[in-house]
Structure 1
Amino acid sequence: MADTEQNNQDAGRTVAIHRVYVKDASFEAPNSPDIFSGAWEPKITLNIKTEQRALEKIGANHWEVSLHVSVEAKHDEKTALLAEVEQAGAFEIAGFEEEDFKRMLGSYCPSVLYPYAREAIGSMVSRGGFPQLVVQPLNFEAMYQQHLQQAAAKQA
């Protein structure tokens, strides 16, 4: 019986990935080739930001979610590299209550895009002549929950 109730609750819900694409990408190695001398022990900084916008020209319930990922590596207090990518996707999301809908945009969609962004960053870094950079996986659900808690604290 629980399975039937679950199936009825899921009826009418749609989550579809229509397209995944790179909107922008850049790589800088401002101190090359001097930065390649000595032991490679960089300090890595990772910044993540997401944006969403309705794609009204495509149709109702269509959204673009963009994931901005920026990685900066400093070596001996000098910028060794800066790699940035804006990975985006066109999603169709329908049939969800507002709270779940926001979770889809703020957690699920970025988690779909992140592996693509990680690969793009890693590829740019390697092609820039640097050792492989493994950008660690992220828990977007935990990040979304933290965002909700911070927003609630601001309102209190």
Structure 2
Amino acid sequence: MADETTTEFKPETLSNGEDNSPAIGLISQYVKDLSFENPNAPAAYQWQSTPQIDVQFNISAEGVGENLFEVALKIDVTSKADEGALFVIELKYAGLFGVRNVPDDQLQPFFLAEAPRILFPFARRVVADAVRDGGYPPLLLEPIDFHGLFMQQVQAQQGEGPGEIPAPVGEA
């Protein structure tokens, strides 16, 4: 009978037993800044024209301690009708991520694609609740393909010559 061997993936452990496999974990998520302006209330509730909604977003990541990073999703929403502004929302929703043994070249894809994907549903709810609490029907933002946007940005940067400004990421 032939001797069958199987190979299993086993994370390396240091001599002291500490696990040194790569790991990233969400420690906390929170509203860092929220502003809702309803400049034309109560008159705006009587307006009959269809509002135009403009949504802008931006992603930032920064180290805030040893192996700790804050990823922030900034969402700006403006709703205007022919008669004037209905509402303006500025939200900065952030998450605190712990990072261990992750190669530097893997951090940017995580912080600009995966972390926003994790945070977005919660930020979306904050926006919907703020609009509803402002007296309007809840605004449910469309899902965003952060990975696709990140890949577009990478491709745009690779195709640009020296001195060109990279295309902005985050306009919806």
TM-score (norm 2): 0.78
Paired residues, what number?
A: 151
Task: Tell me, in whole angstroms, the C-alpha distance in 2 between the residues paired with 1:15 and 1:120.
Answer: 25
**8 Å contact kept, 2:38–2:134:** yes
Q: Secondary structure at the match of 1:136?
A: coil
Q: How does 1:80-95 map to 2 (within 5 A)?
A: 80-95=86-101
The answer to whether structure 1 residue 41 and structure 2 residue 50 are counterparts is yes
In the superposition, relative to structure 1, how do residues 55 and 34 fare at CA in structure 2: closer, same or farther (>3 Å)?
A: same
Distance 1:3 1:134 in 2: 47
Cα deviation per residue 1:99-131 (whole Å; 9 max; x = unaligned)? Answer: 322111111111111111111111110010011
The superposition leaves residues 6-48 of structure 1 with CA deviations (integer Å, 9 ceiling, x where unpaired) of x659x71101111101110000111112221243621111111
Equivalent residue for 1:67, pick from 67, 70, 73: 73
Q: Does 1:4 align with 2:13?
A: no
1:55 aligns with 2:59: no
Distance (Å, rounded) in 1 between the aligned partners of 2:108 and 2:100: 11
2:151 counterpart residue number = 145
- What's the RMSD between the two structures over aligned residues? 2.3
The structure whose residues are more often helix, as a share, is 1
Structure whose alpha-carbon radius of gyration is higher: 2
**Structure 1 range deviating more: 144-153 or 27-36:** 144-153
| Alignment-derived partner of residue 108 in structure 1 | 114
Match of 1:23 in 2: 32
Q: What residue number does 1:131 align with? A: 137
User: Bigger CA drift: 32-41 or 65-74?
Assistant: 32-41
Counterpart amino acid of residue 135 in structure 1: L
Quick one: structure 1 residues 16 and 82, their matched pair in 2 at CA, closer, same or farther if it must change by over 3 Å?
same
SS of the residue aligned with 1:79? strand
Say if 2:47 and 2:83, in contact at 8 Å, map to a contact too: no
Matched-pair contact (CA < 8 Å) for 2:69–2:98: yes
Change (3 A) 1:79 1:4: farther
Name the % identity: 25
List runs of 5+ in structure 1 lacking aligned partners.
none
Q: Which amino acid is 1:4 matched to?
A: E
**Counterpart AA for 2:154:** L
CA gap 1:90/1:80 in 2 versus in 1, 3 angstroms: same
